[in-house]
Structure 1
């Protein structure tokens, strides 16, 4: 059987091929495509029982109907988030959907800190200057993180890893989540309401999933609560932040820095080379012009360790499907109540 993998990066391809060879010993083969799954590319999957997709795949109603009509039975998504999938439609069409429930939390947590320090110490601007042999320090003044307050919104596996690094910096720790993480509490984290966290934190990092309840969690009201010289980092999902409201605050001269690895309208932009044609997204185009903003293209997870774990779990999800097994990674069909 040939399994079709959409949206495969060049770094990922040898890792995916090696994992499939090891797991299936030539019985099942994988064909890696660099194109992403969209309404236009979905017909390519015709005749393939199993496909694998990337985080920015379009798995809305139209695409799912095309996949089901073409004979697809399993969608193995190579990510933890599934806000891009219409699960109700998938279940109605009898499509099985599986995800990667977890992978290295350190990859994302460490990158969130990379963004935080990059904007704090003006690393991108400094590197650009030195390439032009401009060695002045004007405009590069940062500040110590030691003794300042880190606000962690979402204290699961990734939030905990971020908190441990903040603790290593010697920061005061505030947390907000639906449930408290004892490991974070042991590090000295105080759980507070969201408004207090926003008002008191010098650094705010987002580590919650994108759900209807968390869409635009950081909107105009939340941004207004933050300190004028705060740092905001989002390495989770772009829809957590109201980007238009953020741009308005940045235009008003607020915030020491903003580090974004995700963007709410990133589908069709991120993971693609737009350098020659440009983009027609005015909000993103304006966002990247601010000197105190660093935007990267959804790469926080992109370490050899994390990607290898994602691929291994995806292969297991496929093997489970072929063997008629299910695991905690299966989103559709849903587990029966009780």
Structure 2
């Protein structure tokens, strides 16, 4: 079954929705999708890039989103999307986690302001801001956010959940650390891997990522313009630059890593980074030859987030 079939059947009636299979075998080679604004409605749609086709999908909205859909922000992990809706002045906000294939939704407590993305770690949801020393977190089903503070002088630049472990890039020296939450405290176990001043100064973006269980660091380089990938070598406690992903491809939303597709995936090019940029561009960057290509598609407004059915 293709995703086109899936969404066409899902839109017919509840009986079909209940019978639709969501097995790993059915989803294994489905193409990555872009969540984009929809021309004919105030909601979003899913864009199949290889086919340049809008799938028959509509995202349920809250009353805030119907009032002004442009105020919504989106953060994704595989097929789960965190949606933040706010009113025109930002005085009232709502946050939901939605599984885009099943339609299942969970409402979270009203989110705190000034966070940099949302990190998914199973049923644990985290937010942070590199300019503050506090991480906020809650589990799906909780009725409030909890605050956990880093020791004085430390702040988190980036976070990722890998094999049930949280890793963080810690300021001021950009060290790698295992991050644990102990009620109101962030416990950091430093692993090393300090970045040189030259690497930091020549980077406009640093993101943690993973590929087949290996921890990666992605740097957007100012000169020469492009991207560099580093693998974590635990034995030597350092980052080592690499120019290959073993044929895999990595996907990034504006603020965070979205997922990795394997080397045998037919819908993407291997050893490439697929990136949604701040200016609304969606690009594919090749680690093989350093080339960058914009993924041109006919949709209005900027893309919201990647949706990766094959890793649900």
Which one has a larger percent strand, Structure 1 or Structure 2? Answer: 2
Larger Rg: 1
Q: Do these two structures clear the TM 0.5 threshold for a shared fold by scoring above it?
A: no
Please give the TM-score of this superposition, normalised by the length of structure 2. Answer: 0.30
